[in-house]
Amino acid sequence: MSHEMARPPGLTGGEVTGRADIVIVGAGVMGCSIAWSLSQRGAGRIVVLERDKIARGSTAAAAGGVRLQFSTATNIELSAYSMDVWENFENLFGVEIGLRQQGYLLLVTDPSHVPVFQENLRLQQSYDVPAQWLTPDEILELNPVVRVDDVIGATFCPRDGWCDPYSATMGFARAARRHGVEIRQDSEVTGIRRVGDRITGVELADEVIEADLVILCTGPHTNQVGATAAVDIPILPYRRMSFTTRPFDDVPSTIPFTVEFARGLYVHPEGPGFLFGMGNPDEPSSLDDTVDEAWMLNTIEALCDRIPAFTTAAVHAGWAGSYEITPDDNPVLGYVGEVEGLIVAAGFSGHGFMQGPAIGQCISELVMDGAARTVDISPFSPGRFKDGRLAQERNVI
């Protein structure tokens, strides 16, 4: 069942052309997962507005990593719920997402990081995450080509892995549409309507859709979109890039998602080749989505330094997208305190794709039941920044 809204021709901005119970802005993994979860709960008429196409924002740029290895309990719980969904995605949604659970191997080279990783490990194990500490010899059993002469140890969780963000997001989107959600592409929200302390809907170029609840799933654009309702949401975009190699046999395709934590360098098998990347810590905030070739060369150099076998590999493709970073590297989740009718689910600081399923579930509970029950997301509430209750995540890649 679809709910196409009447859109009279020749309308100018300001005239109300439709009404929804809930408007979701943004059709990345979050918008689509939340739309699906809400549709399951019979939340009424749900319209998702996407200025581009489904899964073309940050979600399209993601390396696909899904992991349980976090330093905050809330993230471990969000990822644990999500991992169950990723593992059963084909049964649930009828879509193959190419999940490969070859583990995340987080290499520790800086002695000051060891106690932090040991503490993270204790927390993870208390949540039944099967992560463990590995010595350099044990690391080589999993990844025989990685250079370990300066590696102190690593944490490894065999349940971690990676899958395809596009297929997964389309899986949510199709399921949501089957349950009556209208997802409109090429539909940019130009403003959020606010009357006093209440949100009343959204504006597009030539129409207005009224709604009592607006959910911002606008990823790296959230600060700009929030500003149209005079709400300050502290999420800044930062360019991040990933690259793939051409088919390459000199590195085993069985290696885990290998991360050199200190440099933020990562690599994992992808199709017949490998996918790799490394964040540039000195790059200022921007929405630039062009590939920085100088940083690409730095990344290749770092990769060949850590895994010398890659010296003979050829780069096949590269792309840039935005991390959506908050002051404590954790998302902004929940009702914005100063206005009625506005929820934010954004700012996942580079680990959002993997948490899509849990965020859908938790936000639908927040809307329908008044609070998230599956995972207590209150530590990530929008108000925490003003209240000085930051929830710093330390396992940021």
Ligand X SMILES: Cc1cc2nc3c(=O)[nH]c(=O)nc-3n(C[C@H](O)[C@H](O)[C@H](O)COP(=O)(O)OP(=O)(O)OC[C@H]3O[C@@H](n4cnc5c(N)ncnc54)[C@H](O)[C@@H]3O)c2cc1C
Give the binding site for ligand X (CB under 6 A): 25-31, 49-52, 56-59, 61-65, 188-189, 217-221, 225, 240-242, 277, 321-323, 346, 348, 350-354
Residue 112 beta carbon to ligand X: minimum distance, rounded to whole angstroms? 25
**Residue closer to ligand X, measured from CB, 61 or 307:** 61
Alpha carbon of 5 to those of 36, 204, 208: distances in Å?
19, 13, 11
Q: How far apart (Å, rounded) are the C-alpha atoms in residues 360 and 364?
A: 6
**Residue closer to ligand X, measured from CB, 261 or 353:** 353
Bridge partner list, 107:
154, 260
Question: Terminal CA-to-CA distance of the chain, rounded, Å?
Answer: 41
For the CA atoms of 5, 6, 9, 11, what is the dihedral angle to 10 degrees? Answer: -70
**Residue closer to ligand X, measured from CB, 50 or 207:** 50
**Residue closer to ligand X, measured from CB, 57 or 148:** 57
- Three-state DSSP at 100 gives strand
**Residue closer to ligand X, measured from CB, 143 or 222:** 222
**Residue closer to ligand X, measured from CB, 151 or 225:** 225
Residue 135 beta carbon to ligand X: minimum distance, rounded to whole angstroms? 26
- Three-state DSSP at 20 gives coil
How does 122-131 read in b/e, with b if 16+ C-beta sit within 10 Å?
A: eebeeeebeb
Residue 319 beta carbon to ligand X: minimum distance, rounded to whole angstroms? 7
Residue 345 beta carbon to ligand X: minimum distance, rounded to whole angstroms? 7
Strand ranges (E), 100-247 = 104-108, 132-134, 153-157, 161-162, 182-184, 191-195, 198-204, 207-210, 213-216, 236-245
Residue 137 beta carbon to ligand X: minimum distance, rounded to whole angstroms? 28
**Residue closer to ligand X, measured from CB, 31 or 153:** 31
Query: The dihedral of CA 333, 339, 342, 348: what is its sign?
Result: negative
Query: The dihedral of CA 224, 225, 230, 235: what is its sign?
Result: negative
Q: Which residues contact 66 (CB under 8 A, 6 or more apart)?
A: 79, 82, 83, 86, 99, 160, 161, 162, 163, 353, 354
**Residue closer to ligand X, measured from CB, 28 or 171:** 28
**Residue closer to ligand X, measured from CB, 329 or 365:** 329
Look at phi and psi of residue 369 and say left if phi exceeds 0, alpha if psi is from -120 to 50, else beta. alpha
Residue 120 beta carbon to ligand X: minimum distance, rounded to whole angstroms? 17
Residue 22 beta carbon to ligand X: minimum distance, rounded to whole angstroms? 15
Residue 283 beta carbon to ligand X: minimum distance, rounded to whole angstroms? 12
Residue 41 beta carbon to ligand X: minimum distance, rounded to whole angstroms? 20
Residue 227 beta carbon to ligand X: minimum distance, rounded to whole angstroms? 11
DSSP letters along 325-373, please? E-TTSS-EEEE-TTSBTEEEEE--TT--GGGHHHHHHHHHHHHHHSS-S
Instruction: Give the 3-state DSSP-derived string for 176-206, with helices as H, strands as E and coil as C.
Output: HHHCCCEEECCCCCCEEEEECCEEEEEEECC
